[in-house]
Amino acid sequence: MNKQTAIDFAVYLLVRSLFAVIQTLSVQRMQPVCNGLAYLLSDVLQLRRRTIDTNLRIASPNASDEQIDRTRRQMWAHLVMMACEIAWSRRRLHLCNWRQMLDFPTSGLFLRPFLEGRPMVLVSGHYGNFEIGGYATGLFGIPTMTVARPLDNRFLHRYITQFRGMHGQMLVDKDGSADIIQQHLEANGTLSLVADQFAGARGCWVNFFGKPTSCHKALALFTLANDAPMAVFYARRTTRPMQFEIGCNGVADPRDAGPELGGVTELTCWYNERLEKAIALSPEQYWWMHRRWREVPEKIQRRMDKMAARQAA
């Protein structure tokens, strides 16, 4: 066993030990712990504070310094509680008690394409507890294929993969998975994607909270090329921990031929607008530490300025 493998295994044992302790504790006992850790991460260690504050000011340009500080602190509390909820869910969330924890206010909109036996593309972001969202869809008999980058720690990656696969969620590496995804959609499977990852200079550039960012073109192409409705969904914590709203913020169906299906750019704009509306419900539950916005190439900026001018005319 080399040094890096030994370190990875030690980290894995630490995480499993922490999860084992968390599983024995109640929500009431963990809430003050999460708040204390959030203060430590946000105000003492100031972890990724510059990136978080910059992103919050992009999304909320009129927010005061006090509001920015509060949202940053609440975001860290949400992330710590999210880890606790993942630990709890394996033992506390199942088919016998799901009504006590999950609310599906838009279930008809979300389930209609699936019940019709068609392929589907589920789009979410780093918002709410998206791991619970994937867990819940599998719990209700909707197996999904999720595209994700493997964790650097192979022991943790195997553990997370086992958690996600408990109810039929299958993970595939984002590199070299095009053929597997295509076969899955052709078999009327459901594809689950996290849509708010920066795609580089060659991505599809659209506005997100009013500022250009790059998105992966493949998300829109999966829908446009496979007659697969795209649903924007989220799992948002509501009144207290382990209480979630599984919501659908819109469905773009190629058979409806709406304006959002006009092309890759139009559909990418559409799902980003729907993600914005979902995030606005609970901004503190979004991962603001990601570098979602980066420098826009001059050529891209000129093109977007021309498009904006045409739309305003």
Structure tokens at 294: 């980066």
Ramachandran angles phi, psi of 146, nearest 5°: -115, 135
Could you tell me if 254 and 106 are in contact, meaning their C-beta atoms sit under 8 angstroms apart?
no
List of long-range contacts for 49-55, beta carbons under 8 Å, 24+ apart: 51/288, 51/289, 51/290, 51/291, 52/288, 52/289, 55/288, 55/289, 55/290, 55/292, 55/293
Alpha helices in the chain (DSSP H): 3-24, 27-39, 49-59, 65-92, 107-115, 130-139, 154-164, 178-186, 218-226, 264-281, 298-312
- Give the angle 188-194-200 at the CA atoms, nearest 5°: 115
Ramachandran angles phi, psi of 168, nearest 5°: 100, 10
**How far apart (Å, rounded) are the C-alpha atoms in residues 209 and 268?**
14
pLDDT of residue 309: 78
Q: What is the pTM of this model?
A: 0.91
Q: Which amino acid is at 270?
A: W
Summarize the confidence of residues 124-151 as an average pLDDT: 86
Instruction: Give the pLDDT confidence of 82-103 residue by residue, as tens digits.
Output: 999 999 988 888 888 988 999 9
Summarize the confidence of residues 288-296 as an average pLDDT: 92
**CA atoms within 13 A of residue 235's CA, in its CB half-sphere:** 22
- What torsion, rounded to 10 degrees, do the Cα atoms 225, 226, 232, 237 define? -130
Q: Which of 49-58, 132-141, 195-204 has the highest mean pLDDT?
A: 49-58
> SS3 for 245?
strand
DSSP conformation class of 229 = -
Instruction: Give the pLDDT confidence of 197-230 residue by residue, as tens digits.
Output: 999 989 999 999 999 999 999 999 999 999 999 9
**How far apart (Å, rounded) are the C-alpha atoms in residues 151 and 54?**
27
pLDDT of residue 168: 67
User: What domains does the chain contain, in order, with CATH numbers?
Assistant: 96-312 (3.40.1130)
Say yes or no to pLDDT of 313 above 70: no
Summarize the confidence of residues 36-42 as an average pLDDT: 96
Look up tokens 């370190």; give the residue.
7
